[in-house]
Amino acid sequence: MFDRDVSRRLVAGLIIVGLAVGIWALWPRENSDPSPTSVPIAIETTTTTLQTTTTVPPSTSTTEDTHIVATVEEAEEILRALWFGWFEGIYNEDEDRIREVVGSSNQIDAAVDQFGELEMSRAPVSTDFSFTATEVLKASATCTGIWSEMSASGFGGPAVEGVHVFRWSDGKWLFISLWEHREDLWEEDCAVEF
C-alpha cells in the first residue's frame, strides 16, 4: 500500500518536473529567436474522434484559417484530446502519437523522457479524463488559454491543474505550454511569433 502511494507521488512529481522544464525552456529570453518549433495536432474543429466519437458544439467562428473556442465543452474536448494523446504516447512509447497533440519540441522531449519511467496500470482511454473548474481565459483566432483542473482515473494518471495554452496553426490546435497559476505570464505564449 505504501509503495503504490510513493509510486503515484513519484509519477506526479516527474510529470510536474517535465512540464516545469518545458515551461522554463519556452520562456522568452533576450536575444533569442521568439519562434517556437511546432508540430500540428490532429484535432477536428467540428468532430473529434478518440476511442469514441464526440461532436464538439459549434463555435462562434470557424474558417479554414481560424477557429475560436466558444464553449467550455469545446475547451474540454481539446484538453481531453491533448491528455489522452500525451499519456497514450507515453504508454506506447510512441513519439509520433505525442506529436499529434503537442506543438512544442520542449513538451515533446518532456513526454519522451517519461518513456519507461511513468508507471500506468493499463493503457489510457479517452473517458479516463475528467475536467472541473474549466474556464476559457482567452479565445482568439490564433491562441486559446484554458484554465482547468484535470483528473485521470483508471490507469493511474495524475491530476493536473493550470492554464493550458494552445496555438492555432495550419487548421489545428497545438499545445504549447502549461502554467501553474492564472496570474502567470502565460499570455506571452500567445504573443510570440508562431
Local confidence band at 66 (pLDDT 50, 70, 90 cut-offs): low
pLDDT of residue 57: 41
Percent of the chain with pLDDT over 70: 65
3.40.120, 3.10.450, 2.60.40, 2.30.30: which CATH number matches 2-27+37-191?
3.10.450
Split at pLDDT 50, 70, 90, the class of 24 is very low
Handedness of CA 136, 139, 142, 145 (dihedral sign): negative
Q: In this predicted model, what pLDDT tens digit does every residue of 98-152 receive, in sequence order?
A: 999 888 888 899 999 999 998 888 999 999 999 999 999 999 988 999 999 999 8
pLDDT at 8 over 90: no
| 139 Cβ contact list (under 8 Å, min separation 6) | 68, 69, 70
pLDDT, mean of residues 150-169: 88
> How do beta strands 67-68 and 61-62 pair?
antiparallel
Residue 38 is predicted with a pLDDT of 37
Query: Is 58 a residue whose pLDDT tops 50?
Result: no
Cell reading at 183: 496570474
Distance CA 46, CA 97 (A): 21
- CB contact at 8 A, 158 and 8: yes
pTM over 0.85: no
Q: For a pLDDT cut of 90, what percent of the chain falls above it?
A: 42
Quote the pLDDT of residue 77. 93
Instruction: Report domain extents, the chain.
Output: 2-27+37-191
* pLDDT computed for residue 19 by the predictor: 53
